[in-house]
Structure 1
Amino acid sequence: MSARSKKINNMAYGKLCLLLLILSGLSLTIHAKLSSNFYSSTCPNALTIVKQEIAKAIKIEARIGASLLRLHFHGCFVNGCDGSLLLDDTSTLLGEKTANANNNSVRGFEVVDNIKANLEKACPGVVSCADILAIAARDAVVYYGGPFWKVKLGRRDSLTANRSAANVFIPQPSFNLSNLTSSFATVCYKLYVVLGLCGHTVGFARCTSFRPHIYNDTNIDSAFAKSLQNTCPRSGNDNVLQPLDYQTRFRFDDKYYQNLLVKKGLLHSDQQLYNGNKADSLAKKYAMKQGDFFKDFAKSMIRMGNIKPLTGNNGQIRTNCRKPN
């Protein structure tokens, strides 16, 4: 097959995924069945413990819930939802925390530590770190006013990480629609549209992530770009933060999409959802129908959580999420 034919086939595949997920749902390969009542007898208070810790953490720092949602997303797209992102580097293990898309970006590990410690007191060696991330992401979204969904549970934790895969499969803020389609062809591009971007209805980004967009791009409102340039100069202030949704920074809603329609997406990759391409129709739909956005988001979170989970005798239940037992 020629290079041109491969390119055409890849583009067709990405568009097909985009259509199928929105209309009928994506059927990801599930290696074993997860269950929403997996801990009902072995750790009946597990969900309550996680919910209480999430509420406590967000009350202390409002943006931490968005960080936990990001942890779950970035973790699942590298070898599946196996908690590998939580592992610290050691002399024999090169973790994912310092991969390109994670370094100086992913956070919230201390909150996961606290949740794990409380769960270990209540039911030692029962609840996996991978499941904690899945529950925490749901509870954070709900706390911000977003949709509720029943989290499928029963994942086990990996004993290793994959930094090279993290560098390849997690998108960068500079990606365009073609990059996104290519990066996520293996799991379907639409998962990134629904999860990776609309999750940006809450959270913040560093100046280094949005600087190219506000200085070099034309698909951005000029007044919006200028206001951002006041705090993010061409050099310096790299760690200055700006909300991904300038209207309701701590509310999970459809304002993110409304921002895109007037070219006020913070990141280059954000604005790709409304930039004269195939994604425009989805941005318009979600901007006008928050209920549809919430429904699709909840369904997609469940599907993402089903990406290659470790179950049965695979992996382990880590007692410390930062290292194998």
Structure 2
Amino acid sequence: MTLTTLNNCPAPAKLNLFLHVNGRRADGYHLLQTVFQLLDHGDTLHFALRDDTLIRRVTALAGVPEEQDLIIRAAQLLQAEVLRRTGALPRGVDIAIDKVLPMGGGLGGGSSDAATALMALNRLWQAGLTREELMALGLPLGADIPFFIFGENAFAEGVGEALQPVATPDCWYVVIEPGVQVPTAAIFCAEGLTRNTEPVTIADFSRYLAEGNDAGGFGKNDLQQVACSLFKPVADAVEWLGAYGEARMTGSGACVFSAFGSQEEADAVLSNVPPVWIAWKAKALNRHPMLTVL
């Protein structure tokens, strides 16, 4: 039986357990090292094939015009790739989204949504692209998209596209949304950004964990100091959460997280979060739930 709908497709958030800037390429892109951690918390997408070839987002998203949405752009890229391979344009699709991840939060929400769209439509359109082909298709849209299609926690290098699977702790995270959007470009263009952190290896990270250390204590986020200086709510969240454990900003901000060994510990911290912030807990994921449809 041919599928015409795929509902309740998860688009999980990610954390950068550390984020180092090691240099800058001639084209201006920064050379990074990070560990991406999937979370059991994120957006949910729903797909229904149409009888024409239009790709439509049927959910309004404030501040995100449909033509600029990474979900739509990813779907259009895949539709064009199917046309190139088969000579036939696949059916259009209506895409609905239950949006919970904040924009400009460093949680990879837009990239995760786009990756889920690519995986779901690869199945609905019976396109037959491999995981590696989908990763390559998504990379021009955003450096985080390949990670979500890769679907496992990963040690990442380059601009974030060179990925190796890595074991991470089975723990809970408390995440604070400070209530500001941090524009990535503003952080990477800042004069005060550290761009010469010494490279580490995946073995360094794994050895650190094997010694019984919390993953949140390895390395640092080189973007955090700049973001905290430009956006006081980020600095306030780091300071507040830091009273309970190692607190760190994810990505280029704005969200701040800390790891806890049990759900009960996470709940205890959540109960004390000042009401000025949105905060939530999430369990570490090992694999992306959408890998089952590839």
TM-score normalised by length of structure 1: 0.27
TM-score, length-scaled by structure 2: 0.29
Judging by fraction of residues, say which structure has more strand: 2
